[in-house]
Structure 1
Amino acid sequence: MELSKNIAIALSYIIIIISLVPLIRHDYWIFRVCEYPRLQKLFINVVLLLFLVFFFGIETTPDKVISFLLFLNTGYLIYQVFPFTSFGPKQLHRTKKNEPKKQIGLFIGNVFQYNRNAAEYLKCIKSKDPDVVMLVETDQWWASQLETLKEKYPHQLLAPSENTYGMLLYSKFELQEEKVKFLVQDDIPSVHMKIKLPSGDLISFHGLHPTPPVPQENPRSTERDKEILLIGKEAKKTKGPVIVAGDLNDVAWSYTTELFSKISGLLDPRKGRGFFNTFHAKYHFLRFPLDHVFCSNDFTLVHIERMPNCGSDHFPMFIKLQYSPEEAVRQEEPEADQEDKETASKKINKAT
């Protein structure tokens, strides 16, 4: 009994430390990866608190201390996840007046390069009939398997690659000024263009897939953070509607993603609606929201949905937005203060 209690107390201190580690603004992977499992930390924290209180009781001063710390940590973690629950305020309003010619349906997905279930992906895409499809981790094999999309999507920007960072974009709508850029690393592409809606309105679109901060790929988040924030600054200075989408290899609530939102002024459609965890598709307890769509405040939301698994380690996402410029005055744009701007500049200018 005493051994079980000691183990529970030790685990309690570990979960508290892991919860606080992300407050250290260091690029090394161990600090950044600890940002990912926020829901998991909350669940484990609550279980440990209930276990200690109701199974062992609060008798000694150390018992009271660890129980109080777990209680505080529960509140801290709830505060962090609250904006992404249905109880939080919605950052992007729902569309009130349906205007199909001003709408864009976007399907994004990380296919997992070594996944060979292309037929399932094509079936999933067909089920939503999106206007734009962007897929990442696409090599030449995937490009060949998706050739049939060209019949329905006459406009493409294709950058397949064998290094798990290939990108393929297919569009029903006309593309203008389309470019493949290598913003931070010579082998990590991003796609940039203007998409012309049937209404004639032009949307600036940025699609990206930066490297994750994990030991086997990149021990630091420097390159990832730099690419995300570069796009944020570009979005901020763009006149007109903007959409940024892709597998950012970062969670929706992380320090970097929040900084990106402030620097770019873009809204997160998930806030007030749910987590929409897209990774890992095969392990229910280890799921995080890594695939994102952000938009300027002159859009409204028609529909958002996490799609079924298609053999990848990521679930695809489908979102339909409507260009509603009249809503811009009613949707508050995130703003960066001077400290945020200085932090973003330091990260962008940091040697990689």
Structure 2
Amino acid sequence: MLSMLLTGVAIALLATTLLPRLPLTWWVVRICEFPRLQFAALAAPVAGLAPLTAAPWSWWSLAASLATLGFQASRILPWTPLWPRQVKRAAPGQAPRCLTLLIANVLTTNRHAETLTRLIHEHRPDLVLTLESDAWWQAQLDEALAEDWPHAVRVPLDNLYGMHLYSRRPLVDPEVRWLIQPDIPSIHTGVELPNGDVIRLRALHPRPPAPGESEESLWRDAELLLVGKAIHEHPEPTLVAGDLNDVAWSRTTRLFCRVSGMLDPRRGRGMFSTFHADYPLLRWPLDHVFTSEHFTLKAMRRLPHIGSDHFPMLATLCYRPSRADEHETPEADGEEHRDARETIEEGKERDQQD
């Protein structure tokens, strides 16, 4: 009985590992991309116990669990210090070219605004991007940040998709766009650096594939790929930031990077898992900063709990176009660009069914 049970667990883990390889957008399929580390952690003891069970079950258990471990490791390892860093380390003394960004999904119902504002005043980032911020959060942030972060884009919503951007640096032609769905905003703006250069920031928070939100990942995928396509067609120094409701190693996020040519500063450094803040065994990286090849990374860290289900992220990036050639920029092939276009078109044409 134990041998059959262990084999059943091993095969179930392998099945959920392989399921996201299917070209389906159902949330039950796409959600299996999230807990890769957890699946690997479960497969490891199964592989260790398999030789202790009776044949032929032991062979099935061992083969399935090792296959799970191998596949999950291939996805996880690039987001560990065992992998080469994708974004190069910034050289010292580049302060006029650097920009510090704090990202915080505040959780609309969270009422511990002082915890977040205390962190903001402690770290004094150039940009503060909040997600899920409604009118109540806007009032708290305006009061705490208006003096030192005078430039702002405010989109207060009570549907969990409000967003606010506060900046110490001048914003150039800021714009709120509703890219795929009429109730999901995004912020697009130029940001003037201390040395006078202007870079582009795109702030996103697409709807996740999850019960009560969306039965499919189509609209999230379409929004990410639409932004990726725009970056590809209009290459300029760009940062993409926000709660993307997707993990760094997913099929969609990896395709976004190849279509856009954007780099992930976490690759080779760590996962920086930000969700769920209350459950250490169920965490994955949902809050992201992606950069074009024009930037190097000075620092990145996850900040302490603020009462939300997400941890804030803090990143300092330096605009160094002269070092762009040091980066290996991901590139999409013709088939991947076609897949991206088809996803965008379908996302625009189809209405979401909750």
Q: What TM-score do the two structures reach when normalised by structure 2? A: 0.96
Is 1:64 equivalent to 2:59 in the alignment? yes
- The Cα of 1:8 is off from its aligned counterpart by 2.1
Distance 2:252 2:120 in 1: 30
Distance 1:102 1:236 in 2: 23
Distance 2:17 2:168 in 1: 44
Do 2:4 and 2:57's aligned partners in 1 also have CA atoms closer than 8 Å? no
After superposing the two structures, state which structure 1 stretch, 238-247 or 64-73, moved more.
Answer: 64-73
Query: 2:137 maps to which residue?
Result: 142
Do 2:46 and 2:61's aligned partners in 1 also have CA atoms closer than 8 Å? no
Which residue, out of 186, 189, 197, partners 1:190? 186
Query: 2:330 maps to which residue?
Result: 334
Query: 1:50 maps to which residue?
Result: 48
- The Cα of 1:68 is off from its aligned counterpart by 1.6
Distance 1:202 1:240 in 2: 10
Distance 1:228 1:258 in 2: 11
Query: 1:319 maps to which residue?
Result: 315
Alignment of structure 1 residues 273-312 onto 2, 5 Å: 273-312=269-308
Three-state SS of the structure 1 residue aligned to 2:191 is: strand
Is 1:235 equivalent to 2:212 in the alignment? no
- The Cα of 1:116 is off from its aligned counterpart by 0.5
Which residue, out of 69, 85, 88, partners 1:93? 88
How many residues are matched?
Answer: 347
Amino acid at match of 1:90: R
| 1:40-86 Cα deviation digits (max 9, x unpaired) | 00000101111222xx34x4123212212211221111111110010
Distance 1:132 1:114 in 2: 23
Distance 1:126 1:329 in 2: 36
Query: 1:33 maps to which residue?
Result: 31
- The Cα of 1:298 is off from its aligned counterpart by 0.9
After superposing the two structures, state which structure 1 stretch, 89-98 or 188-197, moved more.
Answer: 89-98
Alignment of structure 1 residues 93-112 onto 2, 5 Å: 93-112=88-107
- The Cα of 1:155 is off from its aligned counterpart by 0.4
| 1:183-203 Cα deviation digits (max 9, x unpaired) | 111111000000011111111
Which residue, out of 129, 132, 135, partners 2:127? 132
Is 1:226 equivalent to 2:218 in the alignment? no
| 1:321-346 Cα deviation digits (max 9, x unpaired) | 00011110111111001111111011
- The Cα of 1:98 is off from its aligned counterpart by 2.2
Do 2:6 and 2:61's aligned partners in 1 also have CA atoms closer than 8 Å? no
- The Cα of 1:131 is off from its aligned counterpart by 0.2
Structure 1 segments (4+ residues) deviating >4 Å: none
Three-state SS of the structure 2 residue aligned to 1:146 is: helix
Three-state SS of the structure 1 residue aligned to 2:3 is: helix
Percentage of matched positions with identical amino acids: 40
Query: 2:166 maps to which residue?
Result: 170
Amino acid at match of 2:12: I
Distance 1:335 1:61 in 2: 45
After superposing the two structures, state which structure 1 stretch, 135-144 or 230-239, moved more.
Answer: 230-239
Which residue, out of 65, 74, 84, partners 2:69? 74
Segments of structure 2 that go 5 or more residues without pairing to the other structure are: none
Amino acid at match of 2:132: E
Is 1:20 equivalent to 2:15 in the alignment? no
Which residue, out of 158, 175, 179, partners 2:175? 179
Cα RMSD (Å): 1.0
Q: What TM-score do the two structures reach when normalised by structure 1? A: 0.97
Distance 1:30 1:24 in 2: 12
Segments of structure 1 that go 5 or more residues without pairing to the other structure are: none
After superposing the two structures, state which structure 1 stretch, 243-252 or 68-77, moved more.
Answer: 68-77
Query: 1:346 maps to which residue?
Result: 342
Do 2:244 and 2:286's aligned partners in 1 also have CA atoms closer than 8 Å? yes
